[in-house]
Amino acid sequence: MKKISLISALLLCVLSLSAQVRFEYDVRFDLRFDNREYDTHSSFQPSLTMFGARLEPTVGFSATAGKTSHQLMAGVDVLKEFGTSDKEILWNLQLWYRFGMSFKHSDFSITAGVMPRRFSKGEWSQAFFSDYYTFHDNSIEGIIFSWDNPAYHFELGCDWNGLLKGARREEFFVFTSGSYTPLKWLKLGWEAYMHHYSCSEQAWGVVDDILAEPYMSFDFAPFAGVQNLSLR
């Protein structure tokens, strides 16, 4: 008997329900220039300049059937750091499936595959992931569960960074973020992860570190008549 994957079964179910299937595409371009020079030596980060361009074209299909939605997309993430040769262009495959379900006042979704990092809606500070790290690693390889409504957001995900093979270590992040907005000017939230950095086939040892950051955010923009004025 042939095995049918969960995604294939869901897609067959959608087609059997005469869902509305649409072709989709998306193209994103990003140019970043950030010069960082320090008068004295910094143990946190060396003096450097981030200067490069990123292109993210994706194509795929989406379908809706009642309160459920399905999306299957594929593309590439290409990063060219200025000053490097064409052989040093960084590129990664992007391939993801998203299942969504709408309720009266909230939306639930599951996204699995290799997806852009922006799919995580957490307000991650650079204590978790520096902009240098996210500039060079723009993808999440794993799965994200997300639940949203106008007052709150919750997500739980896993980003698998390393497969145990040879000198390469097994490595992954289990992360979560959430927020609750009881008032228009007040938000309560958190971000947290557990980072697992395990052994390789050539070296033993396991390091797990846990980082969590609860926060309270005040939005003064509606009272000051400006676009953005906040304190966190």
10 or 178, which is more confident? 178
pLDDT value for 6: 59
pLDDT value for 22: 92
**SS3 label, residue 222:** helix
Phi, psi of 92 (to 5 degrees): -140, 145
pLDDT value for 140: 95
Single-letter residue type at 133 = Y
What percentage of the chain exceeds 70 in pLDDT?
92
Using CA atoms, how far apart are residues 70 and 64, in angstroms rounded to an integer?
6
Structural contact between residues 116 and 137, judged by C-beta atoms closer than 8 angstroms: no
pLDDT value for 229: 94
**SS3 label, residue 134:** helix
pLDDT value for 5: 63
pLDDT single digits (tens) 103-132: 988 999 999 999 999 999 998 988 898 888
| Dihedral sign from CA coordinates of 131, 133, 137, 140 | negative
pLDDT single digits (tens) 11-47: 555 555 556 889 999 999 999 999 888 877 777 777 8
Question: pTM for this one?
Answer: 0.83
pLDDT level of residue 172 (50, 70, 90 thresholds): very high
Using CA atoms, how far apart are residues 146 and 104, in angstroms rounded to an integer?
16
pLDDT value for 114: 96
Phi, psi of 112 (to 5 degrees): -130, 145
Mean pLDDT of the chain: 89
- One-letter-per-residue 3-state SS of 66-99: CCEEEEEEEEEEEEEECCCCHHHCEEEEEEEEEE
Mean pLDDT of 131-140: 90
pLDDT value for 7: 58
Strands of 48-65's sheet, edge to edge? 20-36, 48-65, 68-81, 90-102, 107-116, 139-149, 152-162, 171-183, 186-197, 207-219, 230-231
pLDDT single digits (tens) 50-75: 899 999 999 999 999 889 999 999 99
pLDDT level of residue 199 (50, 70, 90 thresholds): confident
The beta strands (E) that lie in 82-206 are given as 90-102, 107-116, 139-149, 152-162, 171-183, 186-197
Using CA atoms, how far apart are residues 205 and 112, in angstroms rounded to an integer?
29
